[in-house]
Amino acid sequence: MTTALFTHPACLDHDTSPGHPERADRLRAVLGVLERETFHLLDRQVAPRAERAQITRVHHPDYVTRVFDAVPATGYVGLDADTIISPGSGEAALRAAGALCAAVDHVFAGYSRTAFCAVRPPGHHAMPGGWGGFCLFNNIAIGAAHARSVHGISRVAIIDFDVHHGNGTQAVCEHDPGLFYASTHQAPLYPGTGERTERGDYDNIVNLPLRPLSGSPEFRDVMTRRILPALDEFRPELILISAGFDGHSNDPLASLHLVEDDYAWATRKLVECARTHCDGRVISTLEGGYNLKALAASTAAHVRELLCA
Amino acid sequence: MDKTDHDQTDPTPATLDARGLLCPLPVLRARRLLQSMPAGATLVVTATDPTAARDFEAFCAATGHRLTGTDQHDGVYRFRIVRADAS
């Protein structure tokens, strides 16, 4: 059974202004590498728009309205120092969140066991009531909420190996015993959250901050000793991955030293866990990753494991 | 491991050297070759990716091609596949 790929050209039209690291070329690099022969059998799907009701399972209705009201007819609007939007941003955000919901439906319908959402803007910094860190809507949390509300499951795990802590995703998960959130991230670094002591109301948050210059040994150690056992104990009915590749050694925004093989290894472990607990169901979505070559190579390693593990 | 059947022996089977290729390339290339072969013809694939055994079993189960032999020697897997009547 193959892996589904959900994306939409509108995600290329979210223009964040010249010089911004979270740029359309990132998605072009990802889609380019997924044209290789290895990925010929990916089940390519067009991401639909998320419905407002899917987004408001996670975000306050007035926040959703504020986002769309802020989208300019021309030019750029800086929602904060990092989060810049332009005329195409609203449609891109709808397709990014819609990709996750559609991927959930696709996997629960049995068309594929795994899926990758090649989308932007990313989502893991978006709070229920606020944007931040290039993110408008929390795509992965919207996917988790959709799975629980439509497909009758109660436990969804989100694993986040982006180099930044997913403060938005943690905010959605920390008071909800049906959600599990585990993150490896560099500390200190934006957004400054994600200490080990932040464990959620139900011990359902696992934060593993890594010191700058940490690499494969440290990453694999915390995955093996902390995240995978906690995930096993949670017994997920669906595993979602916030796949940011900015922990790569060549990434310009952080100082970890992960390599492509670390992402392949982590993906393999998560697919194995999914096979034990939830019939192999894994849905991954693109978060960060700002060196185009490293991003493309890491995505290829990650998606190949979704396809073959 | 040796579970070669007594299949109708094709005297000149087509061959595919997929040694050194990683999943899913061995199966992808075998699939393409099989599509160009007549029903009942045999393709012998050599591969080194350890997941190839599982992949070729699943591939044959899904497509109707018959996996009539699998063996492994010194890390090299050999799969004997008979093309299905129609696909």
The confidence score (pLDDT) of residue B12 equals 82
Interface of A with B in 30-59 (CB under 8 A): 37-38, 40-41
Does residue B4 have a pLDDT over 90?
Answer: no
| pLDDT over 90 at B8, yes or no | no
Residue A178, pLDDT score:
98
**Taking CB atoms and an 8 Å cutoff, what residues of chain B touch A308?**
22-24, 51, 55
Cβ within 8 Å, pair A308-B25: no
Reported confidence tier of residue B6, pLDDT bands at 50, 70, 90: very low
Residue B87: predicted pLDDT: 47
Looking up tokens 């629960």, which residue turns up? Answer: A108
The tokens for A293 are: 């070559």
- Domains annotated for chain A, with CATH where assigned, are 3-308 (3.40.800.20)
Using a CB–CB cutoff of 8 Å, tell me whether A307 touches chain B.
yes
Q: Is residue B87, in this structure, part of any structural domain at all?
A: no
Q: What is the pLDDT of residues A166-180, one digit of tens each?
A: 999 999 999 999 999
What's B59's domain CATH number? 3.30.110.40
Q: Would you call B74 exposed, middle or buried from its count of C-beta atoms within 10 A (0-12, 13-18, 19+)?
A: exposed
Tokens of B53: 């055994």
User: Rg of chain A's alpha carbons, rounded to an integer?
Assistant: 17
Question: Which residues of B carry out catalysis?
Answer: 23
State the residue for tokens 């996917």.
A143
Q: B28, B33, B35, B51: best mutation site toward chain A, by most A Cβ within 10 Å?
A: B28
Give the pLDDT mean for B5-32. 86
Which residues in chain A land under pLDDT 50?
none
Determine, yes or no, domain membership for B77.
yes
The question of whether A125 is a catalytic residue gets the answer yes
| Burial tier of B20 (Cβ tally within 10 Å: 0-12, 13-18, 19+) | exposed
Question: Does the beta-carbon distance from B23 to A40 stay under 8 Å?
Answer: no
φ, ψ dihedrals at A229, nearest 5°:
-65, -40
* A242: nearest Cα among A64, A119, A105, A58: A119
Q: What's the domain range around B50?
A: 14-82
> What is the distance in angstroms between the Cα of A5 and the nearest Cα belonging to chain B?
16
Where does chain B have alpha helices with state H?
A: 25-35, 52-63
The ipTM assigned to this model is 0.82
State residue B63 phi and psi, 5-degree precision.
-105, -15
Structural domains of chain B, count: 1
Calculate how close chain A gets to B23, using CA atoms only, in Å: 6
B51 occurs within a structural domain:
yes
Q: Work out the mean pLDDT of chain B and round it to a whole number.
A: 89
Residues 6+ apart with CB under 8 A from A61: none
B7 pLDDT higher than 60: no
Q: Identify which of A295, A309, A305 has the alpha carbon closest to the alpha carbon of residue A118.
A: A295
Q: How far apart (Å, rounded) are the C-alpha atoms in residues A309 and B79? A: 20
d(CA A239, CA A126): 20
